Structure 1
Amino acid sequence: MRDRFLKNFFSLALCGGLATFPLTGCGPSSSSPGDSPQDSAGGGKTKTSVNDPAADKPLSIDSFGENPNLDRNDTAGGERFPRVEGMQPIAESPPMDGTEEPAAEQPPEWTAEELQELGIQKFESERLRLLADQVSENERGQYEALPSVLDAFFAWVEEEYPQFLDGAAGPAWQWTGYVMQEPALFRQADMLPEDIADLTHGKDQGRQFWIVEQPTDYYRRHLILHEATHCLMNERFHQWPVWYLEGMAELVACHHWNENGQASFAVTPGNEHTTGGFGRLALIRSETEAGRFQTLDDVMRLNFGNFYPHKTSYAWSWACCYFLSHHPLTAEPFHRLAGIRTNPEFDRTLEQILQQDRTRLNLDWAAFAGSLIPGFDFPRMLTTPPTGSESQGPWTLQVERSWQASPFQVKQGETFSVTASGQFSLASQPEPWTSEPWGISLDYSDGRPLGELQLAIVPEGNTPAHGKALTRTQPVGGKWQGKATDSGRLYFRINDRANNWANNAGEVKIEFQTGSAAAGSDAN
C-alpha cells in the first residue's frame, strides 16, 4: 500500500504541487473550511495554502479563539449529534451493560524514510508521537518541545485529575497526534480518517488527535492540549454533558510554557494567552455588552443539539468550569465530579453542589463573567455578601475589591439618593493616582472614569433578574438620586479593571436616603 501511495503521491505532486494536494485527481481540494462537521474545540484561524489566492492577504488574528464554525455533525433535519469516541448523548441513555468500547484503530506505521519522502516529520517522547508537515527551521524548536509538554501534561493530570486516567495510566499510554498544514496529504497517507477529513480546527478519536496548523505557537499547543484531554476523558464510557466535556478541555489547556521546559496547566489566562489566540474573554465581554449574558443555568442547558453551532459555547463553558473549580463554595466538590461518569448521578451531584448557596453563586458568577479581562484577580471579583445589619446610617465601601453588599434596600418606584465622599488611591504602579468618588479622567474602564462609584440593585431570591443584576450598573460619582426600577439591595463598587483591585487602597463613605426628592435618572 505504501509503495502504491508513494507512486500516486509523486504523480500528484508533479501534477498539482504538494501545497494543494487534492483528495482525488489533480484539481483543487473540494474540502471547504466553512463546513466542519467533525470539528472540535477550534480557536484560531488556519494558515492558508501557498496556492490559495487568500494567501497574499495579511493574516488577521483578531478573532483567535472565537470558533467561527464548530458544528460536529450537521444533518439534513437540522439536528446535530456528537461523534465522540466512547460516549453517546445523555438523552439516549445507552445501556450500562459493562461492555467496553471497541479499541480504536491503530495509526499506520511509516518508516523515517517514508515520512521524509512524504514531507512529514516525526517528534516523539514517552507520551506523544507527533507527525507534522511543512515544519520550517524557525518552527522546529517549538515542535521539538511539544512532546515534552505532553509528557509534563500527562504527569500533571495524574496528579490533579487521576479520575480522567482511570484505567489509562501506565507506561503503555501514548498519544499519536497530527499537526496538519495540508490535511489532504495526511488523508492520502491513511493518517486522517475520511469522516473527519474536512476539519478546520481539531478532532480526537481514541488515542489519536488531529489539528489544523494554527497561526501562533501558543494556540498550537493549546489546541493540542485540548484534544489530548478529550482523548483521556473519552478513554472510558461516560455520560458527561457537553459543557463539561468542552469546558474542562479548555480549562486545562490554558497553560504557561517557557523554553526552559517549565509548564503549568489550568492557569488564569493573561495577555500571553489573548495575544496567542485565546479569545474566550473578549467573546464573553462582547456578548455581555450586547445583552446576551448567560447565567450558570443557561450554560448548563447547553447540550449536543445546541452547543456546536454557536461560537460562544466554548467561551461560556470554559468560564463555567473555571468559576466552579475556583469558587470557595464549589472548588472541592466540583473537582470530584470528574470521577462521576454516569447520569443521573452527575446531574444530581452537581445540583447538590449548586444548592449550597445558589443565590450567592449566581451573583458571584455575574460579577465574574461580567468583568473578565486578562490576568483577572478571581478572589477580588467575587461579591461581599450582606453583613446582616440593616442600618440606614453611613456605610463604608472598600476600594480593593469588586461588588459589595450595602445595608441599604429599596422598593420598586421608590425615590432614593446616594452621597459619597472620601479619597483613595488607584493603580500603585508606576505611582498611585488619588481619586474621589467621581473618578479620574486620566484613565477609563468600560467607557467610564476609573475610580467612579457605581451601584446596582440586586433583587432578592434566585431569579433571572437577580442573576443578571450586576451586569447592569448605574454611575453614581459623588452624588446621585433617582427612582428604583426594581426592589432589592444596593451593591456598590468603584469602577476598575478586574486585574487591578489589589493595587488600590482606601475607602468611600456612602450615605443613603429615601423620600420624595425630585426624581433623577432611573437606577438600572
Structure 2
Amino acid sequence: MIRFLVVLIVGVLFLPGCGSSEPPTKPAAKPPAAETPAPKPPEPKKEPPKMRSGSATFSKPSSDGADALGDSFFIGDGLRERLKVGRVEPEVQFEVDPARLEANGIRVLAGKHVTLYTDLPSSPEIDELPQVFDAAYPQWCDYFRVDPVASDDWKIKAVLMSNKQPFKDAGLFPDTLPEFLHGYYQGDAIWLLDQPSDYYRRHLIIHEGTHAFMMNLLGGAGPPWYMEGMAEHFGTHRWENGQLETRVMPASKEATPMWGRIKIIQDEVAGGNALSLTRIMGTPQQSFLQNRPYGWCWGACAFLDNHSLSQEAFREMVTQVRLTGGFSERLLSELGDVFPQLAESWELFVTNAEYGYDWQRNEVLYRDPVPFSGDVMTAEISADRGWQSTGILLDANSNFEVSASGQYVIRDDGQEWACEPNGVTIHYVKGKPLGLLVGALRSEPWQGGAITPLVTANEVGLGTSLFPEGPCVLFLKVNESPDQLGDNQGTIQVQIKRVEKK
C-alpha cells in the first residue's frame, strides 16, 4: 500500500555573488579521473537522499566591472553591447622555433584548426587528434551560433606532453603557467598531459578546445559552473570510423575509461551529499582543482541541455556568456514557473544516475489533474516512459483501491520478454522485479522545494490501497533501469476505485 506523506517545502534558490568579469585566462587544471570516496555516513533506510540547498535569496556582486549588476543593467541599449558575443584576438603564448623543436624531439601534427606539438611516438590514436579537434569545430559553431565560414581561419596550438622538460627547453611551456593536473587553457594555446586512456585523451583535447573556442570566438565562457560544465558536456563524445559525436550520454564505463563523472554523482548521493541545481550554479572557480565539481557541473549542463522544459532557455544563454555575475540568475528567471518541475526531474536524475540514462524517456509526464468523480476512474500508463501522472486528483475524504492489468514487453534482447504489472522475477532492478508497476503519491499542487516523493517507488503490482492525507495525485511507472526504457512496448490499464473510510 501507499500512504501519502506531507512534505514540508523548504527554500532552494541560493546563489553567491560572482565576480564582475571572467579573467582572460582560465586556471582549469583537470582533476584525476577518479577519486577515493570519503567514508559514507549511515542513512535511514526509508528516507530519500537529501538535496543540499540554501536560502531563497540572491546576492549580487558589488564590483564596478563591465558585468557588474546595477539597477539598470538588464535594460537599455547598453545591454546589447555588454553582452554581445564575438571574436577576440587571444594573447600569443609562445613562438615556435623549428630548430628547437627538432633538438628536443618534438613532433608537429598539423590540422585545420589546431597545430599539435608532442613528444609522443607516432600511433593512430595520437596522430588522429588534429582530426578529432577539426571534427569538433563545426559542432562548436553550430551550438554556439558562430559562422563557421567567417571564423574558418581560427586556429590554436595544442601541446601534448609525456614530459614537460623538452617543451620548456623548446619554449613551448611558458614560465608563467601554473601547476595543473591534466590540462590547461590560456590565450591561443592549450597544454595537455598524456593520458593512459585513448578516450580520455580525446575528451581532454575537446574539453580544453571548448574553452579556447568560447573565449576566442565568443569573448567569454560564463560563470565557472557553465564554463566547466559545457567543456565536460562537449568532451563526452563518441568517435567511430573517423566520425565524431559530441554531447553524448556515455553508454558505459567501459566506453569512457577514466571519465568517472557518473560515479561521482552516484557516490555523492549515496553519501547524502546530492546538490540542487542552484547550489551547483554557485560553484566557485577554485573548486575545480578537485574532481567532484566536474561531475556535478557536467550533470547540470547535460541535464539542462536535454530537458524539454529547459533546453530552449539554456541554449539561449550562449548569447550571454560574457556575463559571470548575473548569468545564473538570468537563466533561472527565464525558467520561471517550470523550475519546480525541472528541479523534480533533476532530483530523479541524480538519484538514478546511470550510464546511458535516457533523458527524454525519463522526463516526468505531467497531466492537468481532474478531481476524482464517481466511484471509479481509469488511466493508462506507457511501459517505455518513466514517471507518469494518472491525472486524477485524490482527496483525503476517501481511501482508494488501485488495480492494474495488461501485458507489455519489458525487454527485447532478440526475444521479447512479456510482462504483466506484477513484473518478472527472473530479473530485478533496485530490489524489485523488473517490469513491476510502482507508484508514488505526490501532493497537489506541487511547488517544489522539498525532495520529491517520486524518488521512492512503492510496489503497486496488480493492485494496492491508497490512503491520502491531503490532495494528491498518483504517479506510476514500470520498474526499469533508466537506460533500458527504449525497448519497452505496450501499456498498462489502471483503475482507481473510491473506498469510503471506515
Which TM-score band (shorter chain)? 0.7 to 0.9
Query: Where is the strand percentage greater, Structure 1 or Structure 2?
Result: 2
Residue of structure 2 aligned with 1:40, choices 17, 29, 48: 29
More helix by share: 1
Does structure 1 retain, via aligned residues, the 8 Å contact 2:108–2:116? yes
Verify the 8 A CA contact 2:437 2:479 in the aligned structure 1.
yes
2:308 equivalent to 1:323: no
Look up the match of 1:11: none
Cα 1:275–1:245 change in 2 (3 A) is closer
CA distance in 2, matches of 1:326, 1:285: 20
User: Residue in 2 aligned with 1:243?
Assistant: 225
Aligned ranges 1:76-155 → 2 under 5 Å: 92=63, 94-95=65-66, 103-111=90-98, 114-135=100-121, 137=122, 140-155=123-138
- Kindly indicate whether the alpha-carbon contact (under 8 Å) linking 2:399 and 2:467 is maintained by their aligned counterparts in 1: yes
Match of 1:509 in 2: 493
Report the equivalent of 2:262. Answer: 281
Q: In the TM superposition, what is the alpha-carbon distance from 1:405 to its structure 2 partner?
A: 0.7
Equivalent residue, structure 2, for 1:179: 160
Residue identity in the other structure for 2:141: E
Matched, 1:379 2:365: no
Q: Is the 8 A contact 2:389 2:475 kept in 1?
A: yes
Q: Which residue of 1 aligns with 2:482?
A: 498
Residue 126 to residue 396, structure 1, CA distance change in 2 (3 Å): closer
Verify the 8 A CA contact 1:43 1:279 in the aligned structure 2.
Answer: no
Structure 2: segments with no counterpart, 5+ residues: 1-25, 39-59, 68-77
Query: 1 CA distance for matches of 2:314 and 2:397?
Result: 41
Letter in 2 for 1:398: S
The answer to whether the 8 A contact 1:39-1:196 is kept is no
The 2-side partners of 1:371 and 1:385 are apart by 19
Tell me the CA shift for residue 317 of structure 1: 1.7
Contact 2:401–2:498 (8 Å) recurs in 1: yes
Is the Cα–Cα contact under 8 Å of residues 383 and 402 in structure 1 kept in the other structure? yes
Matches of 1:488 and 1:244 in 2, distance apart? 36
In structure 1, what is the Cα distance between the partners aligned to 2:487 and 2:268?
A: 28
Q: Please, what is the CA RMSD of the aligned residues?
A: 3.6
**Deviations along 1:488-520, whole A, 9 cap, x unmatched?**
3221111112232231122223344576889xx
Question: Could you tell me which of 200, 224, 228 is aligned with 2:181?
Answer: 200
Tell me the CA shift for residue 222 of structure 1.
0.7
TM-score (norm 1): 0.72
User: Is residue 338 of structure 1 aligned with residue 318 of structure 2?
Assistant: yes
Shift of 1:308: 2.5
Q: Deviations over 1:288-321 (max 9, x none)?
A: 344333332232232336x426533222222222
Distance 1:196 1:448 in 2: 53
Question: Cα distance, 1:267 vs. partner?
Answer: 2.4
User: Structure 1 residues 417 and 117 mapped into 2: Cα distance closer, same or farther (>3 Å)?
Assistant: farther
Match of 2:240 among 254, 258, 262: 258
* 1:101 CA drift (Å): 8.7
Deviations along 1:349-370, whole A, 9 cap, x unmatched? 4134311522322233333444
% identity of equivalent residues: 25
- Relative to the length of structure 2, the TM-score reads 0.75
Q: Give me the whole-angstrom Cα distance separating, in 1, the residues matched to 2:323 and 2:291.
A: 27
Q: CA deviation at 1:142?
A: 1.4
Tell me: CA distance 1:95–1:502, structure 2 relative to 1, closer, same or farther (3 Å).
closer
| Paired AA for residue 480 in structure 2 | D
Alignment match of 2:390 (pick from 406, 426, 430): 406
Query: 2: distance between equivalents of 1:301 and 1:412?
Result: 40
Does the 8 Å CA contact 2:250/2:256 hold for their aligned counterparts? no
The alignment partner of 1:291 has SS state of coil
Q: Which has the higher contact order (CA 8 A, sep 6+)?
A: 2
**Aligned residues, how many?**
434
Are 1:464 and 2:453 counterparts? no
Deviations 1:318-352 (A, max 9, x none): 22222222223332332221111226663454134
Answer yes or no: is 1:161 the counterpart of 2:144.
yes
Structure 1 distance, partners of 2:150, 2:351, is 39
Using the TM superposition, name which of 421-430 and 469-478 deviates more.
Answer: 469-478
Q: SS at the partner of 2:229?
A: helix
CA distance in structure 2 between the partners assigned to 1:276 and 1:243 by the alignment: 23
What's 2:71 paired with?
A: none
Aligned counterparts of 1:39 and 1:179: Cα–Cα separation in 2: 16
Q: 1:446 aligns with which of 430, 433, 437?
A: 430
Q: Does 1:362 align with 2:321?
A: no
Other structure's SS at 1:464 match: coil
* In 1: Cα distance, 2:165 partner to 2:134 partner: 29
Conserved 8 A contact 1:107-1:176 = no
Instruction: Report the alpha carbon displacement of residue 125 of structure 1 after superposing the two structures with TM.
Output: 1.6
Report if the CA contact (8 A) 2:96-2:171 is conserved: no
Which whole-Å CA distance do the structure 2 matches of 1:101 and 1:425 have between them?
Answer: 55
Structure 1 unaligned residues grouped into runs of 5+: 1-36, 45-62, 70-88, 519-524
Residues 114-172 of structure 1: per-residue CA shift (max 9 Å, x gap):
4344232221122111122233x5xx111211112212222332233235x8999241x
- What amino acid maps onto 1:423 in structure 2? Q
Instruction: Judge conservation of contact 2:369–2:393 (CA < 8 Å) in 1.
Output: no
Structure 1 position 428, deviation (Å): 1.8
Paired with 2:214 and 2:253, the residues of 1 have a C-alpha distance of 27
Q: Note the C-alpha offset of 1:255.
A: 1.8
Tell me the SS of whatever aligns to 1:401. Answer: coil
